[in-house]
Every structure is written in C-alpha cells, then in structure tokens.
C-alpha cells in the first residue's frame, strides 16, 4: 500500500449469507472492533439485509454496499434491483462484475460496463471486480485478460468519476478454494491493473486508484499481501462473516 497516494479499503462481501436478524448481530459484532480503523471499512450485504445493516451502521465508520445492481433505472426486469433503488436507501457502494456473477449468471464485460455506468450515474461508489480462471492463468494470458476486463468495464468513465471506483483483483482460482495467490502474484496483477488505468487516463489517476486483492485474504496472509506496493486493501469473502477475522484484516491494513 502507498497510503500517501491512496486510501486502503477493506470491504466484506457477505455473498448469499445471513438473514436480516443474523446480519444485525454480525454488524453489531463488527462495529466495536473496527471503530478506530484508519482504513476504509465497507460491508456489502444481500439486498434483504440492507435496511437493517444501514440502520445498525448509522453513525459509524462502516460503509454499506450491495452486491450487484441492474443497468436500467426501472422496467420489466423481474428480480433485479436498480442503482437508483440502492441510492434511495442510503447505500454507498455496490460490487460490480464479481466472478460468481460472471460464472453463474451470465455477466459479460459489456454488461459489467453498463452496470458500472448506472451505478456511477446514481451516485454510488463502485467496487469493480476483474480476474482470471486457473485455466487462463496456466495459458499465460492473465495480464491481457485483466487489462481487457478493466478497459471494457471503464469505458465511458471519466477521470473524475474514476475517483468513485475501486478495482478488486480476484483470481477466480483462489476464491473459496483455500488457495491464495502469493503476495508477488497478487502485486503483479494489481500493478498490471494500475498500468492499464494509466494508459486509459494518466499516471496521476492510476496512482490515486485503490486496488484491492480479493482471493481468500485471511488474518494469516493479510499482512504480507497488504504490504505489497500495489495492493491497497481487500475484498473479503468468508472472513468477513467472522467479526474477529474481519477486524484482524482491517488492523493489518492500518
């Protein structure tokens, strides 16, 4: 991390976990453990938990995010939620392009870009996910693939709007598998993302961009990962459901 140029952000992605009652208990457990954090702290939760989490996090340093949004403001899109709906609730962040959305629900680079555009237009902060599969890494195309995902997702995003974007590098092969990219591997791809952003905008924009690592970051490996110069935080899965573990990662970022 380079705290002189950008802010570290630790964001929890709860995925499809926790009822509203369980979500309230989890947030209440996290609040006292992260109240003095020097980094940004965000919890991205299922839609049904947003109201209770927003209420429980009110007046704290915890930002609240959703896990996806649709690109249209309204319409015949059964089961979808618009960015405007999220913003109207007071939601601050939204995850876009998570690998599980791409893998299971047909997200493409183009629909990711449309969702990014809609989220920014609604005033939300975006956590944009990019990353490669194990087969793609073994083919040696990680850098090209991640650069392509980044370029397409940021199409039409101005330099000023980029200030409301965080990019999370997620090696798909390390999500929920117990495998983790080495600190050198994580930093190499985060550096590629930063260089790609510099090619789209300029060096200043790239240096100011927060880039997270999102592949099975845990208390045990967080200090080494977060010590890398181009890793500015984490998008945390399983560990975000355990207050002590999540707080330990926040502490490592501090």
| 219 vs 223: CA distance, rounded Å | 8
In this predicted structure, what is the pLDDT of residue 176?
Answer: 72
Catalytic residue among 98, 100, 107, 132: 98
pLDDT in tens, the chain (254 residues): 777 789 999 999 999 999 999 999 999 999 999 999 999 999 999 999 999 999 999 999 999 999 999 999 999 999 999 999 999 999 999 999 999 999 999 999 999 999 999 999 999 999 999 999 988 998 999 999 999 999 999 999 999 999 999 999 999 888 777 777 899 999 999 999 999 999 999 999 999 999 999 988 999 999 999 999 999 999 999 999 999 999 999 999 98
Locate 185 and state its tokens.
């591997």
Q: For residue 98, indicate whether it is catalytic.
A: yes
In this predicted structure, what is the pLDDT of residue 174?
Answer: 82
CB 230, CB 251: distance < 8 Å: no
In this predicted structure, what is the pLDDT of residue 215?
Answer: 86
Query: What predicted TM-score, i.e. pTM, was given to this entire model?
Result: 0.96
CATH match of 9-253 with 3.20.20.70: yes
List the domain boundaries for the chain. 9-253
Sign of CA pseudo-dihedral 73, 74, 77, 83: positive
Q: For residue 144, indicate whether it is catalytic.
A: no
């Amino acid at each position: 991390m380079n705290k002189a140029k950008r802010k570290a952000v630790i964001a929890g992605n709860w995925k499809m976990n926790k009822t509203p009652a369980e979500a309230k208990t989890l947030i209440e457990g996290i609040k006292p453990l992260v109240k003095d954090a020097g980094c940004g702290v965000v919890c991205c939760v299922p839609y049904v938990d947003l109201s209770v989490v927003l209420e429980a996090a009110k007046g704290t340093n915890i930002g609240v995010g959703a896990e996806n949004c649709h690109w249209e403001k309204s319409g015949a899109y059964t089961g979808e939620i618009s960015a405007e709906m999220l913003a109207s609730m007071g939601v601050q962040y939204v995850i876009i392009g998570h690998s599980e959305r791409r893998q299971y629900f047909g997200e493409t680079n183009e629909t990711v870009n449309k969702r990014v555009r809609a989220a920014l237009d609604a005033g939300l902060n975006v956590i944009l996910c990019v990353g490669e599969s194990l087969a793609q890494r073994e083919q040696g195309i990680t850098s090209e693939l991640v650069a392509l995902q980044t370029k397409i997702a940021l199409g039409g995003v101005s330099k000023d709007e980029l200030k409301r974007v965080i990019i999370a590098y997620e090696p798909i092969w390390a999500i929920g598998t117990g495998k983790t990219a080495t600190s050198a591997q994580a930093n190499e791809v985060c550096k590629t993302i930063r260089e790609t952003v510099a090619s789209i905008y300029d060096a200043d924009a790239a240096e100011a961009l927060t880039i997270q690592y999102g592949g099975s970051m845990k208390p045990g490996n967080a200090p080494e990962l977060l010590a890398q110069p181009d890793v500015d935080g984490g998008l945390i899965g399983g560990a975000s459901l355990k207050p002590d573990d999540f707080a330990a990662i926040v502490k490592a970022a501090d």
